[in-house]
Amino acid sequence: MATPKSRPRDGYPGRALALILVVTVGLVALMFGTGNTKPRLGIDLAGGTSITLSAKSSDPKAINKANMDVATGIIEQRVNGMGVSEAEVQTQGDRNIIVNIPKGGDKQTAADQVGTTAKLFFRPVLALAPSGVQAPAPSATPSAGATGTPAAAPAATGTGTAAPSAAAGTPSASATKQGRPAGEALAADNTPSPVATTGAAASATPSAAPAAATGTPPAAATPPATPDLSAAMTSGTVPPELAAQFAALDCSKLDQRKNYQGEDGAPTVACTQKDEKGLYYKLALGPVAVQGKNVSKAQASIDTQQGGGWQVQLQFDGKGTDAFTAVTGQLATQPDPTNQFAIVLDGQVVSHPYVRSAIPGGSAVISGNFGQEEAQSLANVLSFGALPLEFQTSDVTTVSPQLGGDQLKAGLVAGLIGMILVVLYSLLYYRGLGLVSIAGLLVSAALTYSIMSLLGAGIGFALNLPAVCGAIVAIGITADSFIVYFERIRDEVREGALLRPAVQRAWPRARRTILVSDFVSFLCAAVLYVVSVGKVQGFAFTLGLTTALDVVVIFLFTKPLITLLARRKFFSDGHPWSGLDPKRLGARPPLRSTRRRNPSSSAAVKGA
């Protein structure tokens, strides 16, 4: 009766071997396919500037993870504004921020730009215009009143807050024609805040309601979105020297998108961030009206009263409340865009909502066509500007590219020497088995190199000098796993076992030892990565990665390969160059049992 084919005692080593080879080739192909053929180097190897910023505050509770994350994001934007590529900004511990700027540069300039405390100001807008594009003259587009179609005047609400009620098809000023971005509305927090329309907002002057009743719109109700700067100069709104600076400013150029903020009591200019259409806007701003440190609270929320859109609620302290009430009362009587309030962070305008009426009480809402991410981002900016959080530069280290190249060369030479010594030792001591260890080291090196190259592009992992040291230490860890398995096999051969049974009996004991050893190494690397700071984390990460890969290589490559080689006559017969010669290992001779005589035969002999 035919029996079903049973599973071989030594399993299917060819499948495991094929799997690890396919994974290795796939990672190498992905590395070349994506163009990430080299690991990303840290500043100690590629050269650059490393700046350590330490947070300090009179209130210990202000230094927390949320505030540090906000500060990290703002500093990262500041570094990107410098035009630096591949810069790294990350927190270290509970109060430090590390800024790594590669490729050298002026360390003092970098420290000045990233080490200063973020400054938030509220400034009134004097003029607004698109930057880097040819904007049409304001007179080319008549206002609604000029065409004979009266612009809809704001209807007074029961709470005294003006709400726009423009009829469809009769906007007061077209944003597309005038080049004005869609603004946000700034209103009191205790009243429903209508969502800003695409066109310019109507001015919340006391004469707004009577004008609506008579059908004659007031002149201030339909201003051009971008007023003529010369007219503003004539009226004394924009000083001549500021007008010249405003006219020359081109925010579409990177070198001009910088911080122009000087004295708090002096007017200045600023640029907005790029909008969804890829356009920049420039603004002429008046003196600082409210300091960002006077914002006591800011948070993003959903406006449940006006369609469920996102809005930003902010609250001022006592000093900020008085200043905010006074300036919003003045802005509410101005035409657009001089009724806007610019929120300026580090010289860049993050928002410029317009004001409909004076906002007393110290609470306000900024509403508009916000998404959740935009609202939360603005709330974070306002919150950070209100924190009593400052940073001091505790360390600035600059490494020249030449020095970094020398360090990288020294690390590679050390790794190459270590690899050669391991190969020579394996060949001289283990002979044929040494080829298995060499092949395993090559597979491990290919996996490690390709993963590091892909991680550099994927998560920004930078290979620094301690990480190179971790890779060199990993050579010994990988070789140690081979030695444990080889010695277990040789012990079985010394006991007189044939090679194939010796390979199978040696594996469980070697496997247990290898797993325990690698677990201890990986645990140490994990703990070191969590508790350490700075470049030591690179060493811990590389050590942990290579330790994990050692388990993969020993299970899917070394053990299956030895199982296949044990079936070959060169190794199974114990060739002197195989490394498994029983005579060379001092193996015991196999026990030979004496042949038992047949009792009947003995009786026949005696009878004869």
pLDDT of residue 265: 84
pTM of the model: 0.54
What is 13-41+400-585's CATH topology? Answer: Multidrug efflux transporter AcrB transmembrane fold (1.20.1640)
**Mean pLDDT throughout 552-576?**
88
Q: What is the pLDDT of residue 597?
A: 53
Residues of the chain with CATH 1.20.1640.10: 13-41+400-585
Report which of residues 76 and 510 the model is more confident about.
510
pLDDT at 29: 92
> What is the dihedral sign for C-alpha 523, 527, 529, 530?
positive
Contact 366, 378 (CB under 8 A): yes
Give the C-alpha separation, 403 to 410, whole Å: 11
Query: Thinking of the domain 48-116, which architecture would CATH place it in?
Result: 2-Layer Sandwich (3.30)
Start-end ranges of CATH 3.30.70.3400 in the chain?
A: 48-116
**Rounded distance between C-alpha atoms, residue 314 and residue 292, angstroms:** 11
Residues β-bridged to residue 270 = 283
User: Inter-axis angle of helices 499-531 and 465-494, to 10 degrees?
Assistant: 160
Whole-number average pLDDT of the chain? 73
Q: Which residue has the higher pLDDT, 458 or 109?
A: 458
First to last CA, the chain: 46
Q: How many contiguous H segments (helices) and E segments (strands) does the chain have? A: 19, 17
Q: What percent of the chain has pLDDT over 70?
A: 71
DSSP state string for 456-513: HHHT---B-HHHHHHHHHHHHHHHHHHHHHHHHHHHHHHTT--HHHHHHHHHHHHHHH
Residue 393 in contact with residue 52, Cβ under 8 Å?
Answer: yes
Question: In this model, does residue 515 exceed pLDDT 90?
Answer: yes
Give the pLDDT band (50/70/90) at residue 600. Answer: low
Q: What is the pLDDT of residues 125-146, one digit of tens each?
A: 999 888 876 544 333 333 333 3
**What are the two backbone dihedrals, phi and then psi, of residue 284, each rounded to the nearest 5 degrees?**
-95, 125
Give the SS3 label for residue 562.
Answer: helix
The string of pLDDT tens digits covering residues 392-401 is 777 777 777 6
Question: Tokens 């590679």 — which residue?
Answer: 412
Poorest-confidence range of 81-90, 123-132, 200-209, 497-506? Answer: 200-209
Cβ-based burial of 498 (10 A; exposed 0-12, middle 13-18, buried ≥19): middle
